């Protein structure tokens, strides 16, 4: 269980409201995909790592970051079936 890490949907902009609950999350996802557009795989990995460092520093609270690391790692400890390559 996580004590400090928020797991509920949380994307949005102050002062903006969306009638459809998915709008904020979808906007985040699109923004991130746009940032990856045109990059090589290695460049994309670097982008993800740089982003992770910036966001982790912004959060700062090591209890939150520790819980996030544990949750993310736990899903990989039981590997999902291999995903298919893009055709």
Partner 1 sequence: MLKTYTWPRFAAREAPERGASTTRRVPLVIVGAGPVGLAAAIDAAQRGLPVLLLDEDDTVSVGSRGLCYAKRTLEILDRLGVGQRVVDKGVTWNVGRTFHREREVFSFDLLPDAGHRRPGMVNLQQYHLEQYLVERAQALPAIDLRWKHRVAQVEPRGDGALLHIDSAEGPYTLHADWLLVADGARSPIRRQLGLDVEGQVFRDRFLIADVLLDGEPFPLERTERRFWFEPIFFEGESALMHREADNVWRIDFQLGWEADPEAEKQPARVAPRIRALLDQHGFAHIGFELEWVSVYTFQCRRMKRFRHGRLLFVGDSAHQVSPFGARGANSGVQDTDNLMWKLQRVIGGRAPEALLDSYAQERESAADENIMNSTRSTDFMTPKSRAARTLRDAVLSLAAEVPAARALVNSGRLSVPSTLADSPLNTPDVDAFEGWMQPGAPMDDAPTHEAGASGWLLPAFGDGFALLFFGAPAADERALLAVLAVAEEPLRTVVVLPPGVPALPGLRYLHDAQSLAARRYDAQPGSVYLIRPDQHVAARWRRLDAGRVLAALRRAGGHQVATAEAATSA
Report the first-to-last Cα separation within the chain, whole angstroms: 38
Does residue 41 belong to the site contacting partner 1 (CB under 8 A)? yes
| 71 near partner 1, rule: CB under 8 A | yes
- How far is Cα 31 from Cα 40, in angstroms, rounded to an integer? 18
Read off φ and ψ for residue 79, nearest 5 degrees. -65, 135
Is 1 near partner 1 (CB under 8 A)?
A: no
Query: Which residues sit at the interface with partner 1, rule CB under 8 A?
Result: 6-10, 19-22, 25-26, 28-30, 32-33, 36-37, 39, 41, 44-45, 47-48, 71-72, 75-76, 80-81, 83-84, 86-87
């Amino acid at each position: 269980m996580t004590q400090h890490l928020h797991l509920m949907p949380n994307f949005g902009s102050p002062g903006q409201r969306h009638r459809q609950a998915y709008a904020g999350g979808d906007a985040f996802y699109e923004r991130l995909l746009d940032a990856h557009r045109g990059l090589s795989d290695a460049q994309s990995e670097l982008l993800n790592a740089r982003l992770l460092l910036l966001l982790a520093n912004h959060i700062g609270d090591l209890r939150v970051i520790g819980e996030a690391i544990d949750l993310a790692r736990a899903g990989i400890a039981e590997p999902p079936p291999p995903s298919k390559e893009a055709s």
